[in-house]
Chains A and B, each alone.
Chain A
């Protein structure tokens, strides 16, 4: 148990930021993403025997977090319904991230956001991304191209020449 715990702790520390960024990019709300990622890591630990053997454990966490959905989070952490006419929780923002980028991401279809997040923040290649999402590799490429094209139209050009050497698979 101690060794497994240490192993999971290492995994958690190495993965939590990238998982949070990936989920935030998809859901567009940092607070919501943090709750969902925390719950997903809890489930990962509870099923660590299985998750540790997964081809991409971080992707398992991200997919689990995304599958939890907004309704789960509202139900569990923001409001406790006492009757049938509950008011909705207010939308939150993703502090620390350029609002223009969040807005541009929100305009993308959910599947495109998901592909983008897995490729950018988890560094998954096309094949693994396809397996994780359950679509064909060609479809991953198509989603990625459309997402990048849309973001290129929506976002101001980057002025970060130092990033030009960074390579994304």
Chain B
């Protein structure tokens, strides 16, 4: 085996600087969320139903979803428009499971374009700072040290996508970057005050911008 040692030591040495910074508390938190979801019997369908129920308000013509691109009406204060066609919401933001927040993005031609400002404000009301962009996606340089996987737990639904967001797992000074594209959504954690690299494609950034001068379609 001695003839292998030199190469194996070289490999070992090359990786010696690689460290996993995630604290064990994050592992416990992830498992708590998982167990809570199991215990509560929460399924993707249930999330969809809850989100849809929250997004729907009564109209005189029957059930109709909330206004386009807006957050769901607060419970107990349903809007009651007397006229007009039913409009569908592009998204909904609801409490739960547990201390988390559930964001649902609906898909399909019947749904309106996402209003990034409305989504950003809805998330902010749930204590989740976000940068929402449509047709482009932004990362910060340097990237946030925390892992997105500790914050967002997505699942696909028949009518869209649900993301359970653990706002408490977001380190202070970070925001959730949400890039909404036709057909998919890209997400990342970004550092406040850091430079942003924004791209309209899946490849290299198309523009390099600073937080104070952000020529992108979206809202900080």
Q: Is A110 an interface residue (CB 8 A)?
A: no
Q: Smallest Cβ distance from B85 to chain A, in angstroms?
A: 24
Q: Is B27 an interface residue (CB 8 A)?
A: yes
What is the total of A-B residue contacts with beta carbons within 8 Å? 164
Quick check: B24 and A97 within 8 Å, CB to CB? no
Sort chain A's interface into a size bin. 35 or more
Q: Is B26 an interface residue (CB 8 A)?
A: yes
Docked complex Cα distance between A96 and B24 (Å): 23
Given contacts A38-B26, A120-B12, whether A80 and B18 have CB atoms under 8 Å apart is no
Docked complex Cα distance between A25 and B154 (Å): 27
Quick check: A160 and B152 within 8 Å, CB to CB? no
Among the interface residues B3, B14, B20, B148, which one has the most CB atoms of the partner chain A within 10 A?
B20
Q: Is B83 an interface residue (CB 8 A)?
A: no
Quick check: A45 and B107 within 8 Å, CB to CB? no
Q: Smallest Cβ distance from B161 to chain A, in angstroms?
A: 4
Quick check: A8 and B24 within 8 Å, CB to CB? yes
Q: Is A148 an interface residue (CB 8 A)?
A: yes
Given contacts A42-B31, A83-B107, whether A168 and B1 have CB atoms under 8 Å apart is yes
The contact string, 1 if C-beta is below 8 Å from chain B, for chain A 55-89, is 00000000000000000000111111111111111
Quick check: B24 and A9 within 8 Å, CB to CB? yes
Quick check: B5 and A155 within 8 Å, CB to CB? no
- In B29-52, the 8 Å CB interface with A consists of 30-31, 34-35
Q: B148 contacts which chain A residues (CB < 8 A)? A: 77-78
Quick check: A42 and B187 within 8 Å, CB to CB? no
The contact string, 1 if C-beta is below 8 Å from chain B, for chain A 80-116, is 1111111111100010111001000100000000001
Among B4, B6, B18, B153, point to the contact of A144 (Cβ < 8 A). Answer: B4
Interchain Cβ contacts under 8 Å between A and B, 12 examples: A16-B20, A17-B18, A20-B19, A37-B20, A76-B153, A77-B152, A80-B187, A81-B161, A83-B182, A101-B14, A121-B15, A158-B10
B residues in contact (CB < 8 Å) with A: 1, 3-20, 22, 24, 26-28, 30-31, 34-35, 105, 107, 147-150, 152-154, 156, 160-161, 163, 181-187, 201-203
